[in-house]
Amino acid sequence: MTVERTTKRILKQQYLDVPSRAGVYAVRNLVTGRALVAGSANVQGALNRHVFELRQGKHRDAQLLEDWKAHGEASFVFEVVDRVKPRTEPDFDAARELELLVALWRLEMPCGGERGYGA
């Protein structure tokens, strides 16, 4: 086996060994001020999905897709705004912690009604 193949295999395994991290993300339109704030057990994967769907012209949120087409990719910011900090307590509920973080960030970053997206 070549060194290059071995290196690729090691890098792939290292990628697969990294646990996905739960967190809160935001998709913000810099032109209109609209935002989507949501949470996911795999926060980076969720952001990647939004970018992919928008680039394909097939996003589930019609208003977000319409704004994407009208203003272009450069008018949007995709960011992880917070992560669930892993804890070792036996009663720690990561899903509940994520719900609370999402609620806090929705208060911090206006994203309801005309100010937000629904996806």
Q: What is the CATH number of the domain that holds 53?
A: 3.40.1440.10
Contact at 8 Å (CB) between 39 and 24? Answer: yes
Range of the domain at 27: 23-115
**pLDDT score of 20:** 56
| Span 39-57, average pLDDT | 96
Number of domains in the chain: 1
Residue 17 lies in a domain: no
Residue 18 pLDDT level (bands cut at 50, 70, 90): low
Residue 9 lies in a domain: no
Which segments of the chain does DSSP mark as H helices, in order? 3-17, 43-56, 62-71, 94-108
Residue 18 lies in a domain: no
pTM, rounded to two decimals: 0.80
For residue 50, pLDDT over 90 is answered with yes
Q: Please, what is the average pLDDT of the chain? A: 90
Backbone dihedral angles phi then psi of residue 116, each to the nearest 5 degrees: -135, 175
Q: Kindly list the distances between the CA atom of residue 87 and the CA atoms of 3, 75, 90, 93, 94, in Å, as whole numbers in the listed order.
A: 39, 37, 9, 9, 9
| Span 3-26, average pLDDT | 76
Residue 1 lies in a domain: no
